[in-house]
């Protein structure tokens, strides 16, 4: 596929890297020749210096023969114009990164983007807010993802010494409602087998029907907390989107925002009634102590800088908060977040890459989520008729190590797969695979 990426910031670089690694023909447009030199040296891509919204520049990259344009600069207006211009040239799929709520919030005068040549909007901050909202709904989870219109849940849990599952083999757990589909250990993803032993500090991904996850208490031997308050450090875009999601809940906890900027505090107080806005520095121990933080609170650190987020998270943990969610801009900082007691780390750029990969994959891959380790993937796949995966029982397919069938939805019924499970065309199948084996998954599911 021939793909143009406009904008080579952090988001653009990560998208370009993921797409080029999958063998796509990637062309990057950016105004800064120096960052383009770095990308050309590091990635298998073509680079063009210039304004990605310019018809002249787009013509120079032969835009009429491009399959997708991804406009992901920091400038919303430039992204929109780039997509509109590309659509006029006949590009089938146009995707714009639009962050400003003024352009995306519901209002009768908001333009219909599809009428103006923008097929899809990506908002990393809103994606991050949705992820945090899901995590708050499932306390103790390090990850939460939904499949098959929300009927299946994927929940990440950290194995601790006091859990009954610590030290046991998966085959000995007698799980009937759930499947442990992946294990993250020392920064690497493992696709487990029955003989895999779960160790303290492992992170496991558990897949099962959504309504059944109240039974996870039997797995973790921990009481699920009910939060009295959600305390948010920082009042930026992610926080604002997250607060709006919380305010839509019928039964919602108290919402407290700690923001050091007086002007932003005043704006938040005017725009978000129903929240307590406190002008204070969340990295200051005394400021947090004044909030009487404890086990009944959830703490979400969204201060922008990793150092500030990690400091605020560490202080909250020291003050007794059990549920600490932290924004991390760089994946290599995630292990550091774990050492300071962060329950779940959110990486907006990674969420954006997931969304883009879903757009460019084959049509019967209906969902994808790149694991934070970066070396494994989760796919929701619909097998084609006569594809290899439909021609025998699961035990007879000879799946290579590194590929695991996590769940099968057949005629709207969720099946926890076993050796005698038979996969049919039109089933929805949740597959976990090491990234290098994704082409093997495609061979199994396509005719």
Distance, CA of 146 to CA of 155 (rounded, Å)? 9
Task: Report the pLDDT value the prediction gives residue 109, as an integer from 0 to 100.
Answer: 46
pLDDT in tens, 251-291: 889 999 999 999 999 999 999 988 999 999 999 999 999 99
Sequence-distant (≥ 6) Cβ neighbours of residue 145 within 8 angstroms: 134, 153, 154, 369, 378
Q: Model confidence over 207-231: pLDDT tens digits? A: 888 776 655 655 665 566 678 999 9
CATH classification of 351-445 is 3.30.565.10, yes or no?
A: no
Local structure of residue 435 (DSSP, 8 states): G
**pLDDT for 58 beyond 50:** yes
- Is residue 282 within 8 Å of residue 234, measured between CB atoms? yes
Q: Is the pLDDT of residue 111 over 60?
A: no
pTM of the model: 0.83
- The rounded mean pLDDT for the chain is 88
Domain 2-122: which topology?
Rossmann fold (3.40.50)
**Looking at residues 369-394, what average pLDDT do you find?**
85
- pLDDT score, position 363: 62
> Please, are residues 191 and 404 in contact by the beta-carbon 8 Å criterion?
yes
- Summarised one tens digit per residue, pLDDT across range 114-171 is 777 899 999 999 999 999 998 888 877 888 888 887 788 888 888 888 788 889 998 8
The tens digit of pLDDT for each residue in 303-324 reads 999 999 999 999 999 999 999 9
Same fold: 2-122 with 351-445: no
Q: Which residue ranges make up each domain of the chain?
A: 2-122, 140-220, 229-350, 351-445
Res 107 pLDDT > 50: no
Q: What is residue 223's predicted lDDT score, i.e. its pLDDT?
A: 61
CATH 3.40.50.720 fits 229-350, yes or no: yes
**Residue range 335-354: average pLDDT?**
88
Residue 302 pLDDT more than 70?
yes
Per CATH, is 140-220 categorized as 3.30.70.1450?
A: yes
Residues with Cβ within 8 Å of 423's Cβ and at least 6 positions away in sequence, in order, are 383, 389, 390, 394, 405, 408, 429
Query: Does position 101 have pLDDT exceeding 90, yes or no?
Result: no
Per-position DSSP letters for 320-378, written without gaps between them: T-SEEEEE-SSGGGHHHHHHTT-SEEE-HHHHHHHHHHHHHS-TTEEEEEE-TTSSEEE
């Amino acid at each position: 596929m021939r793909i143009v990426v406009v904008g080579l910031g952090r988001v653009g670089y990560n998208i370009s890297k993921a797409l080029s690694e999958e063998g796509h023909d990637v062309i990057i447009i950016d105004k800064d020749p120096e960052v383009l030199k770095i990308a050309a040296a590091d990635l298998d891509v073509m680079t063009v210096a210039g304004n990605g919204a310019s018809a002249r520049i787009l013509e120079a990259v032969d835009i009429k023969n491009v399959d997708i344009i991804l406009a992901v600069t920091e400038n919303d207006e430039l992204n929109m114009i780039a997509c509109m211009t590309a659509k006029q040239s006949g590009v089938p799929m146009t995707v714009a990164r639009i962050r400003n709520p003024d352009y995306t919030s519901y209002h009768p005068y908001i333009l219909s983007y599809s009428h103006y040549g923008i097929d899809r909007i990506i908002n990393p901050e809103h994606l991050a807010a949705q992820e945090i909202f899901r995590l708050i709904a499932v306390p103790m989870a390090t990850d939460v993802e939904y499949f098959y219109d929300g009927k299946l849940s994927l929940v990440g849990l950290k194995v601790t010494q006091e859990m009954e599952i610590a030290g046991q083999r998966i085959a000995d757990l007698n799980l009937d409602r759930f499947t442990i589909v992946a294990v993250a250990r020392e920064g690497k993803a493992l696709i487990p087998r029955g003989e895999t032993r779960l160790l303290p500090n492992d992170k496991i991904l558990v897949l099962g029907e959504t309504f059944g996850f109240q039974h996870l208490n039997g797995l973790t031997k921990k009481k699920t907390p009910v939060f009295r308050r959600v305390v948010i450090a920082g009042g930026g875009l992610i926080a604002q989107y997250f607060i709006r999601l919380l305010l839509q809940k019928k039964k919602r906890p108290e919402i407290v925002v700690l923001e050091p900027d007086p002007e932003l505090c005043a704006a938040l107080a005017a725009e978000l009634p129903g929240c307590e806005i406190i002008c204070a520095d969340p990295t200051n121990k005394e400021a947090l102590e004044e909030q009487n933080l404890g086990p009944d609170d959830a703490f979400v650190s969204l201060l922008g800088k990793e150092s500030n987020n990690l400091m605020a998270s560490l202080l909250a943990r020291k003050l007794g908060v059990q549920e600490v969610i932290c924004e991390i801009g760089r994946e290599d900082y995630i292990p550091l977040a774990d050492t300071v007691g962060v329950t779940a780390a959110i990486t907006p750029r990674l969420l954006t890459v997931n969304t883009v990969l879903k757009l460019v994959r084959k049509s019967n891959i209906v969902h994808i989520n790149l694991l934070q380790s970066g070396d494994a993937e989760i796919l929701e796949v619909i097998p084609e008729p006569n594809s290899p995966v439909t021609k025998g029982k699961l035990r007879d397919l000879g799946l290579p190590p590194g590929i695991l069938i996590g769940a099968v939805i057949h005629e709207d019924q969720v099946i926890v797969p076993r050796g005698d499970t038979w996969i049919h065309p039109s089933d929805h199948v949740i597959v976990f695979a090491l990234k290098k084996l994704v082409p093997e998954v495609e061979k199994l599911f396509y005719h």
